[in-house]
Amino acid sequence: MSFAATILTLYPDMFPGPLGHSLAGRALGTGVWTLDTLQIRDFAEDRHRSVDDTPAGGGAGMVMKADVLARAVDAALAARPDCPVLAMTPRGAPLTQDRVRTLAAGPGVTLLCGRFEGMDERLFEARPVEPVSIGDYVLSGGEMAALTLLDACIRLLPGVMGAASSGVEESFESGLLEYPQYTRPVTWEGRTIPEVLRSGDHAKIAAWRAQRAADDTRLRRPDLWERYRSARDRPPSGAQ
Ligand code: 6GU
């Protein structure tokens, strides 16, 4: 079965965007995944087709209306009742590779893209919509975040990437950053590829890579390193 992506957005022309190219684009063309966009404005019911209004309590910008968003979500749920609905917002819980793997193994995703200052909070109480963020910075809308989440899922779908997608050797799959890579020429601007990588000694190469993965993670991502270390030092409950 295809992985079904449904996007609720004020800017449907932004899709598939970059996902129409390269491996994701080919996979879209061959039906590995499908894309449907719903124009949120089509769910406005007033004369001016308003999708937003001023924030309660005052402040800058505009807030997307709960009733309009709920009608859009209801339409998506009617079409794809099995797909989880995620709202792309910097107020969401951070997206992780674990979550991406879970989503990619399922029937698809429905992604609600916010614009303006945010979405009326009552939407999240009244509908099964989970807020998700792609990182600690603010985008002007959820569309680029939705494209990012989709890219992360699509590359894991069977047959999209070939051998490189086995995934087990990659960043985050191990809990560490990936080791550094090199390719020819052996010497470039006076810098030579580490000797061990040209030694043909596969055990030594594996050990060097593991060391670099650990060192680079400790330096660049102390947060990941701390989690990795506590998981390693305290094996999962149920272990002998
Ligand atoms: Cl999911 N949406 C927006 N608008 N900004 C973000 C984000 C999402 N994740 C990080 N920044």
Residue 185's pLDDT is: 98
Q: Cα separations (Å) of 132 from 4, 86, 89, 148?
A: 18, 6, 6, 12
Flag whether 138 is marked binding.
yes
The neighbour count for residue 40, using CB atoms within 10 Å, is 26
Domains of the chain: 3-162 (3.40.1280.10), 168-233 (1.10.1270.20)
The response to whether 139 counts as a known ligand-binding position is yes
C-beta separation of 171 from 177 below 8 A? yes
Could you tell me which of 23, 15, 5, 55 has the C-alpha nearest to residue 159? 23
Amino acid making up residue 197 = L
Ligand 1 contact, 146 CB (< 6 A):
no
- What CA–CA distances, in Å, run from 191 to 183, 184, 194, 237? 12, 11, 9, 46
Q: How far does residue 139's CA lie from ligand 1's centre (Å)?
A: 5
pLDDT at 173: 76
> What pLDDT band is residue 172 in, cutting at 50, 70 and 90?
confident
47 pLDDT more than 80: yes
Give exposure, 105-122, as e/b (b: 16+ Cβ within 10 Å). eeebbbbbbbbbebbbee
**How much of the chain exceeds pLDDT 70, in percent?**
94
Any known ligand binding at 52? no
Instruction: Report the length, in residues, of the chain.
Output: 240
Q: What is the pLDDT of residues 83-140, one digit of tens each?
A: 999 999 999 999 999 999 999 999 999 999 998 889 999 999 999 999 999 999 999 9
Q: Give the pLDDT confidence score for residue 168 in this predicted structure.
A: 52
Q: Which atom of ligand 1 lies closest to the CA of 135?
A: 10
Mean pLDDT of 195-201: 98
CA 146 to ligand 1 centroid distance, Å: 9
* Banded pLDDT at 50 (limits 50, 70, 90): very high
Cα of 212 vs centre of ligand 1, distance in Å, is: 31
Q: From the CB of 145, is ligand 1 less than 6 Å away?
A: yes
User: What gap in Å lies between CA 87 and CA 142, rounded to an integer?
Assistant: 8
| Distance from the alpha carbon of residue 119 to the mean position of ligand 1, in angstroms | 12
Neighbours of 31 (CB within 10 A): 10
Predicted confidence at residue 234, as pLDDT, reads 78
Q: What pLDDT is attached to residue 174?
A: 87
Answer whether 164's CB lies under 8 Å from 22's CB: no
Q: Is the CB of 90 under 6 A from ligand 1?
A: yes
Tell me which residue of 2, 17, 1, 3 sits closest to 146, measured CA to CA: 17
Q: Report the interhelical angle of 143-154 vs 22-29 (nearest 10°).
A: 80
Strand partners, 6: 36, 110
Average pLDDT over every residue of 15-27: 98
139 lines ligand 1 (CB under 6 A): yes
Interface confidence, given as ipTM, is 0.94
Tokens 């609600």 belong to residue: 112
136 appears as a binding residue in the annotation: yes
Of the residues 138, 140, 143, which should be mutated to test ligand 1's pocket, given the most ligand atoms within 8 Å of the CB? 138
Nearest to 2 by CA among 108, 145, 156, 80: 108
* Angstrom distance (rounded) from CA 77 to CA 69: 12
Ligand 1: centre distance to CA 190 (Å): 42
Distance 73 CA to ligand 1 centre (A): 19
Q: For 108, phi and psi rounded to 5 degrees?
A: 150, -170
Q: Grade residue 42 by pLDDT with cuts at 50, 70 and 90.
A: very high
Which atom of ligand 1 is closest in space to residue 92's alpha carbon? 1
